[in-house]
Chain A
Amino acid sequence: EAGVAQSPRYKIIEKRQSVAFWCNPISGHATLYWYQQILGQGPKLLIQFQNNGVVDDSQLPKDRFSAERLKGVDSTLKIQPAKLEDSAVYLCASSLVGRDEQYFGPGTRLTVT
């Protein structure tokens, strides 16, 4: 069974630029999550999708972050414009249903200079 795929693995941008991350969940998993993990901390949930609908995005900074999950499969997370404090690892995870066992991708390490 293929795992959760993410790209790119690494990204370096300057502040005020924009960036997009892509995630392909495990086939058949209805729930998809985007997390932000700052160095030395646990992951923080940004947004959770159930199929192509949003379950919770209360912790997503909507003035600069956006996410979509077209057709209930792949998802993209965008930051525009980026700030220095956005430097982190962005993790995508999926599960069969919400609050079930989660499977994580390798993450995208973002550095904003």
Chain B
Amino acid sequence: KQEVTQIPAALSVPEGENLVLNCSFTDSAIYNLQWFRQDPGKGLTSLLLIQSSQREQTSGRLNASLDKSSGRSTLYIAASQPGDSATYLCAVWLIRSYIPTFGRGTSLIVHP
């Protein structure tokens, strides 16, 4: 059974810092991995999708990397802003399954 762990569970940083959020998974036979953002009381917003054949994806100040062999993905946020405050979740789809496994998320607070 796939298990997805996100570390740290919570993070509070001053504005301007560069951040690294971690996502680890136990089964490396993945189809793809997605990073999402969830604001309080709202649904999820897709940030980046990495196919199993890719090593990284970039969008603006966000960069996500994937290392299947070590079962890890990292989300890098450059020059953090208060508007980045949210919960960040990663989800993994296995090759043999249509059921995604989500981590519990990292709750991020960026204070001015």
Contacts and interface: CB of A to CB of B under 8 A. Distances in A.
Given A40-B104, A42-B104, A42-B105, A99 B98 contact: yes
A72 B75 CA distance: 35
Given A40-B104, A42-B104, A101-B34, A58 B99 contact: yes
Contacts of A41: 102, 104
A44 B2 CA distance: 13
Interface in B62-105: 89, 91, 93, 97-105
Contact of A91 (B4, B44, B105): B44
Contacts of B7: none
Interface stretch (A13-21, A62-70, A75-83, A102-110): A102-110
Given A45-B99, A48-B98, A56-B99, A101 B43 contact: no
Contacts of B99: 45, 48, 56, 58-59
A99 B103 CA distance: 17
Interface in B1-49: 4, 31-32, 34, 36, 41-46, 49
B42 A106 contact: yes
A55 interface: yes
Contacts of B34: 101-102
Contacts of B97: 56
B100 A45 contact: yes
A98 B98 contact: yes
A43 B98 contact: no
Contacts of A4: 43
A58 B42 CA distance: 26
Nearest to A50: B98
B45 A44 contact: no
Contacts of A43: 44, 89, 91, 102
Contacts of A93: 43-44
Given A40-B104, A42-B89, A99-B32, A104 B44 contact: yes
A93 B49 CA distance: 15
